Amino acid sequence: MKILVQKFGGTSVANLECMQRVREKVTDSLKRADKIVVVLSARAGDTNNLLALAEQWSKNPDAAECDALVSTGEQVSVSLFTTLLKDNGIKARSLLAYQIPVITDDSFGRARIRSIDSDALRAFFEQYDVLVVAGFQGCTEDKRITTLGRGGSDTSAVALAAALESVECEIYTDVTGVYTTDPNICSTARKMDRIAYSEMLELASMGAKVLHIRSVEFAQKYKVAVRVRSTFNDDPGTLVTQEDFSMEALLVSGIAYDRDQARVTLHAVPDVPGVAAAVFGPLSEKDVLVDMIVQNTSLDDLTDITFTVSRKDLKHTLEIMAKISHSIGAAEVVHDVNVAKVSAIGVGMRNHSGVAARAFAALTQEGINILMISTSEIKITILIKEKYVELAVRILHDTFGLDWDID
Ligand code: ADP
Ligand code: ASP
Ligand code: MG
């Protein structure tokens, strides 16, 4: 039995007309597969509206109740879409995560999938040709509803494909595939026919929201080939797959950016052992993810420690810093939310030097000041003022020869 998993994002199911287009795609796909699992996101804007509602009700909404609330966006889209399929005589039913179940841990708001009952899913196929599954949601062993983090429907889809041993998982979205950078801010971005899991992981973790990072981790681990394609045309899109030799020929294969950054600096901290642990220990205890970290060389036995966190964690971070700054002897704590990070990614960097220098020179020429730098084997990341982010993406895209060749 050939099972195909197809996921459609928020803009693909935004309204009746969009859903009718998706119904055509799914109906057509029944010619090349015996059974289809359709994974849907909430309609565009619905998740944001639900989150705003939670914040209107409470300064600090309860995490579990927040998940119970925001997961309803997907319940709306799967039931509406299944109605459309049934109107056309297709044997279909909707499934919420708890009805399968998709079991997760209890990290509300960013839960991780632990198991999926694939036998139960297969049993549903005895009666139905299309199962329409709510993405983004899961449930704990003790039946609490969870969500997988923003953009998490991609992860639902790939995890379902892995559980059903489906060879390919199609992710339908509002762009034609994975590009060398976000095509919505760089008109010269090029669509890639293939991209290695490792590069896609870096792109996703550096902010390219076209795929949720956990979905790429699942795909790599369970060898699911992921095809990113558009709901609005028939292009074959981009295949996310195992690394191959030709990819290493490219020095830099993509540029990503992330506006969800806030910078925090502890000024004039005594340069003694234990300070970093005193700063980052309490943050990790409270589940605050710290991204970039820089500690300056000390002057007069005093140093500055700067790090970045997600903007949603800034308030919490500043509260924690206010508690510890006195005991570690910091002169002051300052922060800045008008920052963003830009990254150049490429497996080809493993064997080449000078990539960072080229990036810095290009940005300097345009007068863009670099606030922080971090590098790994296959990426360079810089923190800059947010107002320069689109310009920096375009400059780096051009510098590393990724621009679309117009002639
Ligand atoms: P969906 O709602 O379908 O899940 P998302 O908005 O989550 O769609 O992801 C698609 C968006 O990702 C595109 O509209 C595009 O702006 C953005 N994006 C960022 N980087 C890239 C990239 N390298 N390639 C393609 N799209 C990208
Ligand atoms: N609806 C959720 C979100 O907006 C999940 C998703 O779209 O993948 O983040
Ligand atoms: Mg998405």
Tell me the HSE value of 11 on the side-chain side, using a 13 A CA sphere. Answer: 9
pLDDT score at 110: 93
| Residues 6 or more apart whose Cβ sits within 8 Å of residue 392 | 257, 342, 363, 366, 368, 382, 384
pLDDT score at 349: 85
CA 31 to ligand 2 centroid distance, Å: 29
pLDDT score at 348: 81
Residue 231 CB–ligand 1 contact under 6 Å: no
Is pLDDT above 50 for 407?
A: no
Residue 11 CB–ligand 1 contact under 6 Å: yes
CA distance 115 to 138: 10
404 pLDDT band, cuts 50/70/90, is: confident
Closest of 93, 84, 75 to residue 23, by C-alpha: 84
pLDDT score at 145: 98
The residue nearest atom 6 of ligand 2, judged by CA position, is: 151
Atom of ligand 2 nearest to the CA of 150: 9
CA distance 121 to 72: 21
Owner of token pair 């020179």: 361
| Residues 6 or more apart whose Cβ sits within 8 Å of residue 365 | none
Best of 71, 72, 113, 136 for a ligand 2 pocket test (most atoms within 8 Å of beta carbon): 136
Residue 227 CB–ligand 1 contact under 6 Å: no
What share of the chain has pLDDT > 70, as a percent? 98
Ramachandran region, residue 238 (left: φ > 0; alpha: ψ -120 to 50; beta: rest):
beta
Residue 8 CB–ligand 2 contact under 6 Å: no
- Which bound ligand lies closest to the C-alpha atom of 148? 2
Asked whether the beta carbons of 96 and 136 are under 8 A apart, the reply is no
Atom of ligand 2 nearest to the CA of 136: 5
Collapse the DSSP code of 211 into the 3-class scheme (helix H, G, I; strand E, B; otherwise coil) and give the result.
coil
Asked whether the beta carbons of 225 and 171 are under 8 A apart, the reply is no
- Give the pLDDT mean for 266-277: 90
CA distance 242 to 195: 8
CA distance 207 to 170: 21
The average confidence (pLDDT) of the chain is: 94
| Residues 6 or more apart whose Cβ sits within 8 Å of residue 74 | 40, 41, 42, 96, 134, 135, 136, 137, 153
pLDDT score at 59: 87
pLDDT per position as a tens digit, 210-242: 999 999 999 999 999 999 999 999 999 999 998
Closest of 93, 79, 78 to residue 135, by C-alpha: 78
Distance linking the first and last C-alpha atoms of the chain: 47
pLDDT score at 373: 93
pLDDT score at 354: 85
Residues in the chain: 407
Q: Where are the alpha helices (DSSP H) in 88-178?
A: 118-124, 153-163
Residue 202 CB–ligand 1 contact under 6 Å: no
Q: Which residues of 12-36 are buried (b: 16+ CB within 10 A; e: fewer)?
A: bbbeeebbebbbebbeeeeeebebb
- Which bound ligand lies closest to the C-alpha atom of 209? 1
Domains of the chain: 3-242 (3.40.1160.10), 255-399 (3.30.2130.10)
CA distance 228 to 172: 6
pLDDT per position as a tens digit, 164-174: 998 789 999 99
Atom of ligand 1 nearest to the CA of 184: 16
> Other C-beta atoms within 10 Å of 263: how many?
22
pLDDT per position as a tens digit, 344-371: 998 888 878 788 899 999 999 999 999 9
- Give the pLDDT mean for 130-159: 98
Peptide bond into 273 cis (omega under 30): no
CA 271 to ligand 2 centroid distance, Å: 43
What are the phi and psi torsion angles at 268 (to 5°)?
50, 60
The partner residues of 290 in beta bridges, in order of sequence, read 309
pLDDT score at 341: 97
Is pLDDT above 90 for 153?
A: yes
- Of 124-133, 255-264, 345-354, give the lowest mean pLDDT range: 345-354
Closest of 202, 242, 245 to residue 219, by C-alpha: 242
pLDDT score at 248: 61
The partner residues of 339 in beta bridges, in order of sequence, read 261, 385
Atom of ligand 2 nearest to the CA of 48: 4
pLDDT per position as a tens digit, 38-93: 999 999 999 999 999 999 999 889 999 999 999 999 999 999 999 999 999 999 99
Residue 151 CB–ligand 2 contact under 6 Å: yes
- Give the pLDDT mean for 304-333: 93
Amino acid at 382: I
Is pLDDT above 80 for 249?
A: no
Residue 172 CB–ligand 2 contact under 6 Å: no
- Which bound ligand lies closest to the C-alpha atom of 75? 2
The residue nearest atom 23 of ligand 1, judged by CA position, is: 181
- Which bound ligand lies closest to the C-alpha atom of 43? 2
Collapse the DSSP code of 333 into the 3-class scheme (helix H, G, I; strand E, B; otherwise coil) and give the result.
strand
Best of 182, 190, 206, 213 for a ligand 1 pocket test (most atoms within 8 Å of beta carbon): 182
Token representation of residue 389:
């982010």
Owner of token pair 């790090």: 307
pLDDT score at 297: 76
pLDDT score at 247: 62
Token representation of residue 140:
């704990």
Closest of 354, 352, 290, 278 to residue 317, by C-alpha: 290
Q: ∠ CA(367), CA(376), CA(180), 5° rounding? A: 65
Helix (H), strand (E) at residue 132: strand 130-134
pLDDT score at 402: 92
pLDDT score at 405: 64
Owner of token pair 């923003």: 150
Residue 173 CB–ligand 1 contact under 6 Å: yes
Atom of ligand 1 nearest to the CA of 153: 4
Best of 39, 51, 150 for a ligand 2 pocket test (most atoms within 8 Å of beta carbon): 150
Amino acid at 33: A
- Which bound ligand lies closest to the C-alpha atom of 77? 2
What are the phi and psi torsion angles at 157 (to 5°)?
-65, -50
CA distance 1 to 356: 50
- Give the pLDDT mean for 370-398: 95
